[in-house]
């Protein structure tokens, strides 16, 4: 370098020290870049491990707040033993309305579609009047094991010429028979009839009053499928006597809505649940 540049000449030792310092700065910047890149690459994994509360041997100490979603491991607590759910047996004592393949009974109780309820006896007698259905009392009560018996009868009584009052009396005798055998009856209303609709209306009126007076719950599978004259709604029956699939499904939906409340004692059922 010429003297005319005006820059003072450095001693050789000074220049060497300056070069060494520059290299150290460069190396330091390089390693900082490497470390930062490694941290960026590992950051998602670290965040996941912290979020999961990993506390394995050798893990670095968790610094609360180091990750936005980080949280210290929860203190283990004793797990409470869940209370056992009581299962109530439920039988049916009926005519053909519970019998056919897609009936309200088969879509609900038999299909295990109601929590806390198990199927008891299936004492269904197609074509039977209430007096004949009484022959199934022992079977229905035994299957209920002190639980509940759904009682549905009356259609065949009315079709055979019985008056609503006589049919109601015979059905009340079925309720009494269930109670005498240690189980609790549930009164299932009589479905519509395109032949004797007005009599069905009267019979259900009598049954409703008698059930309320006796403290017996009422399961209504009549209203969702009946017109104002006690006949089947259009599209819910093929023969005017029994529900078709559409009608039975409407009835089943009502059973699913009503029966859990009846079993829990919320809809007029005065009897206590059976004790295990």
CATH of domain 88-263: 3.40.50.1110
Mean pLDDT over residues 197-223, rounded? Answer: 97
**Confidence at residue 86, expressed as pLDDT on a 0 to 100 scale:** 81
* Residue 195 burial (10 A CB sphere; 0-12, 13-18, 19+): middle
**Confidence at residue 75, expressed as pLDDT on a 0 to 100 scale:** 47
The bridge status of strand 117-124 relative to strand 148-152 is unpaired
Residue corresponding to tokens 């004949």: 132
DSSP string over 125-190? -TT--HHHHGGGHHHHHHHHTTSEEEEE--HHHHHTT--HHHHHHHHHHHHHHHHHTT-EEEEEPP
Q: How far apart are CA 99 and CA 129, in angstroms?
A: 14
Which tokens sit at 198? 């007005």
**Confidence at residue 81, expressed as pLDDT on a 0 to 100 scale:** 46
249 and 106 in contact (C-beta within 8 Å)?
Answer: no
pLDDT tens digits along 146-173: 999 999 999 999 999 999 999 999 999 9
Phi, psi of 136, deg, nearest 5: -95, 5
241 and 194 in contact (C-beta within 8 Å)?
Answer: yes
Mean pLDDT over residues 252-273, rounded? Answer: 74
Q: Edge to edge, what strands does the sheet with 218-219 contain?
A: 117-124, 88-94, 148-152, 184-188, 218-219
Q: What is the mean pLDDT of the chain?
A: 78
Which tokens sit at 195? 């032949």
Q: For residue 99, which of 148, 136, 131, 144 has the smallest C-alpha distance? A: 136
Residue corresponding to tokens 């009936």: 103
Mean pLDDT over residues 212-231, rounded? Answer: 96
Mean pLDDT over residues 210-231, rounded? Answer: 96
pLDDT tens digits along 16-69: 555 555 555 455 555 555 444 444 344 333 333 222 222 333 332 322 222 233
What percentage of residues in the chain have a pLDDT greater than 90? 63
Residue 179 pLDDT more than 60? yes
Residue corresponding to tokens 């259905």: 133
Phi, psi of 232, deg, nearest 5: -65, 140
Question: Rg of the chain over CA atoms, in angstroms?
Answer: 40
**Confidence at residue 173, expressed as pLDDT on a 0 to 100 scale:** 99
Residue 92 pLDDT more than 80? yes
Q: How far apart are CA 187 and CA 156, in angstroms?
A: 17
Quickly count: other Cβ atoms within 10 Å of residue 244's Cβ: 16
What percentage of residues in the chain have a pLDDT greater than 70? 65
**Confidence at residue 265, expressed as pLDDT on a 0 to 100 scale:** 80
H helices present in the chain, as ranges: 12-51, 104-107, 130-133, 137-144, 155-159, 164-180, 197-214, 245-263
**Confidence at residue 27, expressed as pLDDT on a 0 to 100 scale:** 55
Task: Using DSSP, state whether 94 is helix, strand or coil.
Answer: strand
Residue corresponding to tokens 């870049």: 33
Mean pLDDT over residues 129-152, rounded? Answer: 97
Length of the chain: 276
């Amino acid at each position: 370098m010429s003297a005319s540049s005006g820059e003072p000449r450095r001693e050789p030792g000074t220049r060497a020290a300056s070069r060494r310092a520059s290299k150290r700065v460069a190396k330091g910047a390089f390693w900082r870049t490497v470390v930062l890149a490694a941290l960026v690459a590992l950051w998602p994994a670290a965040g996941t491990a912290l979020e999961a509360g990993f506390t394995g041997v050798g893990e670095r100490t968790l610094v609360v707040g180091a990750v936005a979603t980080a949280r210290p491991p929860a203190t283990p607590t004793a797990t409470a033993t869940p209370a056992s759910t009581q299962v109530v047996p439920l039988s049916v004592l009926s005519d053909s309305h519970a019998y056919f393949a897609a009936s309200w009974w088969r879509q609900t109780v038999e299909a295990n579609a109601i929590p806390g309820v198990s199927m008891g006896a299936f004492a269904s007698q197609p074509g039977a009047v209430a007096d004949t259905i009484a022959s199934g009392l022992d079977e229905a009560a035994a299957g209920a094991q002190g639980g509940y018996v759904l009682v549905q009868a009356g259609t065949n009584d009315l079709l055979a010429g019985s008056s609503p009052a006589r049919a109601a009396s015979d059905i009340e005798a079925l309720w009494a028979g269930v109670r005498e055998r240690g189980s609790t009856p549930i009164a299932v209303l009589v479905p519509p009839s395109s032949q004797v609709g007005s009599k069905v209306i009267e019979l259900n009126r009598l049954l409703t009053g008698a059930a309320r007076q006796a403290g017996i719950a009422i399961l209504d599978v009549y209203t969702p499928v009946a017109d104002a004259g006690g006949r089947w709604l259009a599209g819910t029956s093929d023969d005017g006597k029994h529900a078709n699939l559409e009608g039975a499904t409407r009835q089943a939906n009502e059973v699913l809505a009503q029966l859990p409340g009846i079993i829990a004692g919320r809809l007029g059922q005065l009897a206590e649940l059976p004790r295990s």
